[in-house]
Structure 1
Amino acid sequence: MDHITPDSPEPTLTVGQRIQRIRERRGMSREVLAGMVGKSASWLKAVEKGRLLPPRLPMLLLLAEALQIRDLIELTGEQSVPVRMFSGPGHPALDSVRDAINNMPLLPIGTVQPLTTLRARLDAAWRTRHSSPDHRTALGALLPDLIRDVQLAVAMYSGADRRRAAGMLAETYGLAQMFIAYQPAQDLLWRVADRALLAAQESEDPMAIAGAVWFLAQAHRDSGDFTAARAINEQGLAVVRPHMDSAGADLRAMWGALEFELAYTAARLGESGEAWHHWEEAERVAERLPADYYQPWTSFSRVIMKPHAVTVAVELHASGESVRQADAAVSAPIPSRPRRGRHLIEVARAHQLARDPSAVLGTLQLAQQTAPETIKYNGFARRMTLELVEGPPALRPQARELADRIELLV
């Protein structure tokens, strides 16, 4: 008899039994796992007990990501299919970014740059990130040197200058997290998220701390740990609260961004009232910002609130409300190409909930034209495209063309 490791498939187990076994090994309740894939606990129980047919490939992919498994063979017992095929490829610059992050200057040598120069470079990197259709490629060229130079500044400056450099390092790690997201590098993503918070705490700057919390809360939520996401988020608000009476636009925007993150987490948990409450709190903050204000780290602004409403409705799996919000926000003038691309993917998800595959395809095509590297690395977009490839015959040729453009079937 072949030796069976804890994570290897067993031919005698059904798909449902494998799902249940892995779920229980991860310590997840049916309610949590079902909520993460947009289904009810009773549906999941029926799948696990064999009262429903095994889920189709798009749902299997959602379950695989939620259960943090690397290959669909662990769920199906059949042909090996790496989950990363559907969650996005690794960017060619990923190794260079990883090397820069890992090579901390424990014995710093070299010429440290003035903080004003580093600040200008970091601001330019954010502008590049928002203006470029291929933003990961653009950031991949900038990040390695920027990370090394800001790390060196923290190591070589002292006093107030060191604290300022630490704040910039936290921000640089946040920018790096945006590059790393949706790539097969979860270890690296957690490293930069944790280091960002440590650097922000050293800076003693509430803006840097709030930003690092915003990034870390997303990392927790995307890993399925909603309790940790909510806890760190609330701690971030507590840090910022004493400074709000004298806060400028940037810090107020960070407060609003953290309020929305609570809305997002609540929506993922299916807590409709809590989700819309925090969205409304965030909207109140946005309304008090200048009309043309746009926070580069979080995209928080007046213009982002309608797209945020689409996200809340989609995560709550409210199909009618999702389409209503999407129709109201599809042309939102978001001044960031990757954020605009992500918004269009959320609109496509709304149309998917409404079972309108033609609208899903058209919106994904627009997202690909707007920000090719956003859709290429977005797991939701890749799964929707795969479903369209196997969907209505009339849409399959265009869906296959889109799949080729995002390198889904390579």
Structure 2
Amino acid sequence: MEIPDNLSVGERIRLLRESRGMPRPVLAQMCGRGPDWLKRIENGDRELRSYSLLFRLAAALQVPDLSVITGQDSDAGHPVPTGGLNHPGMPAIWAVVMKRPFGLVTAPSALPNPAALQGRVNQSWRLWHNSGSNRTEVGAQLPELIRDGEAAVRVLDGPERRTALVALSDIYRLTGQATAYIAPAEMAWIVADRALAAAQDADDPAAIAAAAWNMGNILRETSYPDDALRVVTEAGDLLRPHLDDAPDDWRGIYGALHLHAAVTHAREGNEGDAWRCWDKGNEVAKSLSASYVHPSTVFGRANVDFHQVSVATDLRKAQKAIGLAHDIDPDIMPSKERQARLWIEVARGHLQRGDRTAALHVMKLAHDIAAETVAYTPSARAVAADLWRKAPRALRREAGELAEKVGVAAPG
């Protein structure tokens, strides 16, 4: 259907919904929200900033591109996928997660070593952060790790079982990271819940907080920002009384919870709360050594600075975000995944300013650093798709090549 150019996002949603004979409560339920939320969007009383919610609305309304909802001149354009992004490693991970047996398939010949299991998990986290093909390489390890972790908690007792439970929680957190945007929603929820359940069974505050950070990611990306904030806030409250005499990694996850809240607030447009939470994360980083890096969340001085750019970009303060990024040395971040995400945020900032030449340059940097991070991150795919459609004539060939590599355009 043809939609007048002068309609707002909310008016476009209402027109599309009514043209399909879809009641407001039905569309709202398909997005995991209530009818009052959708009414506020349609009436223009609430701004819709979340890409994941835009995708949900577009899929539910059966439109081919986000620009149908956001307007042809909007930066928020992207082909609407019919399901999760495909990855060849997903079937094996799905099978081991979703077809978990009720008992041991075969008893181990010797009792598992929980410390060795944790060592394997730590090694996999390092691979996640250091590989440009992290989903493929880590995904290949996950089925065996999950099976071994589940077997360990079934056969061990006492302190050794508690150690194995912490390792199992870590395995499921890593699974959540490695399958983000490629796992169906039902599996993402199961993985997040198993990580939290294992940590709670271990009664380990740091593991619980780390699992809550992971759960917060799932809640935020499935458009439950209020619940995401509640989870990370409660986890921070649980961890805070232990921090005075705690290991550095406990403070590291405590800081990561605040950075998570900062980004969540920023995506909701809550500027004051976003910077307040970032400030708290910054204070935690100051209490740690300048070289400290949390093994899984990579919280530390560099990650706090990277998140400052993310917060500014999500608040659509493009000039501030680009200025902040100008003063950052990306090489101080030991994670290729986080380096690539920094350049993705900078590219988003350049797009907000209408500078597609600069956006293309930094997106190519991101892809060179960590190709799979770019290919499987919705915001990065949105930037690549925008550049493919709207890059200056002299850059169309380069923009097309990037779009093909990322998977938002078919080979020409």
Bin of the TM-score, shorter chain as denominator length: 0.7 to 0.9
CA distance in 1, matches of 2:89, 2:400: 27
Q: Report how far residue 74 of structure 1 moved.
A: 10
Instruction: Kindly indicate whether residue 189 of structure 2 is the aligned counterpart of residue 190 of structure 1.
Output: yes
Change (3 A) 1:60 1:169: closer
| Secondary structure in structure 2 of the residue aligned to 1:299 | coil
CA distance in 2, matches of 1:327, 1:127: 27
Alignment match, 1:172:
171
Alignment match, 2:230:
231
Instruction: Kindly indicate whether residue 13 of structure 2 is the aligned counterpart of residue 29 of structure 1.
Output: no
The letter for the 1-side match of 2:396 is R
CA distance in 2, matches of 1:366, 1:130: 17
Moved more, 161-170 or 181-190: 181-190
CA distance in 2, matches of 1:273, 1:14: 30
| Secondary structure in structure 2 of the residue aligned to 1:261 | helix
Alignment match, 1:97:
93
Q: How does 1:138-287 map to 2 (within 5 A)?
A: 138-287=137-286
Alignment match, 1:4:
none
CA distance in 2, matches of 1:401, 1:88: 23
CA distance in 2, matches of 1:304, 1:227: 24
Q: Report how far residue 332 of structure 1 moved.
A: 5.2
TM, length-normalised to structure 1: 0.84
CA distance in 1, matches of 2:27, 2:172: 32
Change (3 A) 1:255 1:126: same
Q: Contact between 1:84 and 1:184, CA under 8 Å: does it hold in 2?
A: no
Alignment match, 2:72:
none
Q: Contact between 1:330 and 1:344, CA under 8 Å: does it hold in 2?
A: no
Q: Contact between 1:61 and 1:83, CA under 8 Å: does it hold in 2?
A: no
The letter for the 1-side match of 2:100 is M
Q: Report how far residue 110 of structure 1 moved.
A: 2.6
The letter for the 2-side match of 1:72 is V
| Per-residue deviation, residues 212-245 of structure 1 (Å, max 9, x unmatched) | 0000011111111111111111110111012112
Choose from 101, 107, 110 the match for 2:107. Answer: 110
CA distance in 2, matches of 1:268, 1:311: 10
Q: How does 1:261-410 map to 2 (within 5 A)?
A: 261-329=260-328, 331=330, 333-391=332-390, 392-410=392-410
The letter for the 2-side match of 1:260 is L
CA distance in 2, matches of 1:381, 1:243: 38
Choose from 76, 80, 83 the match for 2:80. Answer: 83
Moved more, 396-405 or 116-125: 116-125
Q: Report how far residue 301 of structure 1 moved.
A: 0.6
Change (3 A) 1:225 1:206: same
Change (3 A) 1:394 1:60: farther
Q: Contact between 2:51 and 2:379, CA under 8 Å: does it hold in 1?
A: no
Moved more, 400-409 or 206-215: 400-409
Q: How does 1:52-71 map to 2 (within 5 A)?
A: 64-67=54-57, 69=59, 71=62
Q: Contact between 2:41 and 2:47, CA under 8 Å: does it hold in 1?
A: no
Q: How does 1:35-50 map to 2 (within 5 A)?
A: 41=45
CA distance in 2, matches of 1:226, 1:195: 20
CA distance in 1, matches of 2:271, 2:146: 40
RMSD over equivalenced CA pairs, Å: 2.7
Moved more, 317-326 or 169-178: 317-326
Q: Contact between 1:105 and 1:151, CA under 8 Å: does it hold in 2?
A: no
CA distance in 2, matches of 1:62, 1:147: 28
The letter for the 1-side match of 2:216 is A
The letter for the 1-side match of 2:254 is W
Gaps spanning 5+ residues in structure 1: where?
A: 1-12, 35-39, 45-58
Instruction: Kindly indicate whether residue 15 of structure 2 is the aligned counterpart of residue 17 of structure 1.
Output: yes
CA distance in 1, matches of 2:248, 2:312: 27
| Secondary structure in structure 1 of the residue aligned to 2:85 | coil
| Per-residue deviation, residues 372-401 of structure 1 (Å, max 9, x unmatched) | 000010111111111111112222111100
Moved more, 258-267 or 14-23: 14-23
Q: Contact between 2:219 and 2:225, CA under 8 Å: does it hold in 1?
A: yes
| Secondary structure in structure 1 of the residue aligned to 2:243 | helix
Q: Report how far residue 307 of structure 1 moved.
A: 0.7
CA distance in 1, matches of 2:52, 2:121: 35
| Per-residue deviation, residues 149-175 of structure 1 (Å, max 9, x unmatched) | 001101111122111111111110000
Q: Contact between 1:88 and 1:376, CA under 8 Å: does it hold in 2?
A: no
The letter for the 2-side match of 1:273 is G
Change (3 A) 1:41 1:356: farther
Change (3 A) 1:60 1:120: closer
Q: Contact between 1:177 and 1:193, CA under 8 Å: does it hold in 2?
A: yes
The letter for the 1-side match of 2:37 is S
CA distance in 1, matches of 2:103, 2:205: 29
Alignment match, 2:74:
none
Q: Report how far residue 29 of structure 1 moved.
A: 2.3
Q: Contact between 1:307 and 1:332, CA under 8 Å: does it hold in 2?
A: no
The letter for the 1-side match of 2:182 is Q
| Secondary structure in structure 1 of the residue aligned to 2:299 | coil
CA distance in 1, matches of 2:40, 2:13: 19
Q: Report how far residue 102 of structure 1 moved.
A: 2.3
